[in-house]
Structure 1
Amino acid sequence: MIKAGVIGATGYAGAELVRLLLAHPEAELTAISSVSFTGQALSEVYPAYFGQCDMTCTNQEEVIEKCDVIFAALPHGLSQELAQQCHEKGRAFIDLGADFRLEDEAEYTEWYGGGFQNKELHEQAAYGLPELFRKNIVGKKLIANPGCYTTAVPLALAPAIQNGLVELTGIIADCKSGVTGSGRKPSQTTHYPELNESFSAYKVANHRHTPEIEQTLTHVAGDKVHVTFVPHLLPINRGILATCYATLKPGVTEEQLREVYEKAYANEPFVRLLPKGMCADIKNVHYSNFCDVSLFTDPRCGQLIAISAIDNMVKGAAGQAVQNMNLIFGIQETAGLMMMPPAF
């Protein structure tokens, strides 16, 4: 059994990792940590885990010492030192934060502040979006696990971009997220009276996921891609819906698009290309590692409309991290992740 540990187990992504690892057939949850709840049982923080995970939150050093793979579910800026410690001890490290996602240090400094503590270590990191970069992940011990928007948008657009069917300028990603994407710590915007019966955009053209989305699509295209990215906050717990617009190249038909998407995702266990006319819906991916993709064209305007839906806590965070763990250790990629979404 793979000995797995979670640093930051009492945050939403950390708690979701615990849920998935408890049911994993080839991994054993060995240790968890939390700065805010050190010495308390996880089931005290999340009563839903009572009798299933009464493990006590310990310190980070103990997690690293006891485990083969360490998941860090922490805010940006807190993972680089932990990654160094894991590297020195030969442990696998999967970072759910942003510290290793951007390849350009100047870009990281611009959007997150700070810099790269160990540039050589950053060069060893693999970007953990398996459907696009699987060959780079296998056998690696340091994984930058993408977040929710940075998973949903590339999976919606990648086949069209990779096959040269759309223009690389004028791409728009209009996205909606459940409130768990804001983390467990409450804020004014996530306060119930502010969020309930409300729907608004935030960080318009200024969201930290923008350079990461562009970095992924640039790799796919082989040429620089810029994206207008507008996130919105939904008054729901879970889910990401990404509605993406791109200008079709002359003569490209919906049939051509569907053909390249079918080819790209034919053997991907977690990407479900929906039938013609069917719209991706966050309800249909709840608690699962699936990404549903819908394809539409608007011939009047020459536009591709690609829509993806994921659970931001699973495929957009913890589920993808487990998927990466499976690839690192050479076990079935779908192990522990084939839970079905509820039908209603």
Structure 2
Amino acid sequence: MNSKQLQYFLITVQKGSIAGAARELDIAQPAISQQLANLEREMGATLLERSFRGISLTAAGELFAAHARKLMSEINSAKRELQQLVANQEGTVRVGMLPSVGNVLSMSLISSVNQLFPKLKLEISTGPSYSVREWLEKGQVDIAITYEQDVVASVMDCEPLIEENMYLVLGVSEQSQIYRSLQHRQSINFWELSEYELLTPGPKDALGKLIASYEQSTGVALKHDKAYSGQLMTGLRQVMQGEGLMILPSSATFHLEESQLLKAIKIVSPEMKRTVLLATNRNVPINDASLKMISVIKRVVAQVQQLDQWRGVLAPDVESAQALPVERLTVFN
């Protein structure tokens, strides 16, 4: 017995004749008659009474028809679910993230998705934290990688990825008095930051909120007078040119540190850090494609942390994720 036989049987019953079923299915009558005869032979019972007026169900046919309807319903349901699964596996997943996160994740994430799920298409959008939040709220991205300072609990379902360390970042120049005074330092107290002109984003940005919270908790007022566009790459260029210092995570600067264009000094007393979260919109069901993308994101985060490109403490769920083969990663400069 197969689904074709069930389909022919049920449509013949519905139309009341083999001729009617042939017209409905656009199939020759002998083909339908043969399938029905094979079905009755396999079931070991006469299912249809045939006459010049058409067909009618026997008692065995009535019993079989009830089961046939259930079976066809299950088969059609399975087809729909499988089609949806295939569509999800071959679908597009839109991920929003901040430029600092994109700097350390984008290229390796694209490479890993291509390797592990080649039918998935990844679209990455980068922007300030408040933009990433708005994209998720409006359904313009499926997954957001953002900071705890920009969480809206009523909209977002969040899980931690990494608690990242924050650093004072300065340009490397022997002509700079600031660099000469700090070049051998591996850590710096938070209160000491008040001695330097800083390039900081406004209070609307998650980093601006973080800095303001540390100023409030420590009672240390920092200098925010330097002109800053709020664009990470522009700010880093200003730092390299000696126009100010920045407070940033290693994800934003590791490539410039490796090139010895910047120096990053860990901020301590108190240790300055923040939690990076993976967020989805709680009002939108998560499909299979997004679940696969989340698994890849966790593995890539674990990889770049292992490479010391993103310094901090992994969340337990990320730490236990199976790591991809470790290799040097290409990043945006």
The answer, yes or no, to whether TM exceeds 0.5 is no
Q: Relative contact order (alpha carbons < 8 A, sep ≥ 6): 1 or 2 greater?
A: 2
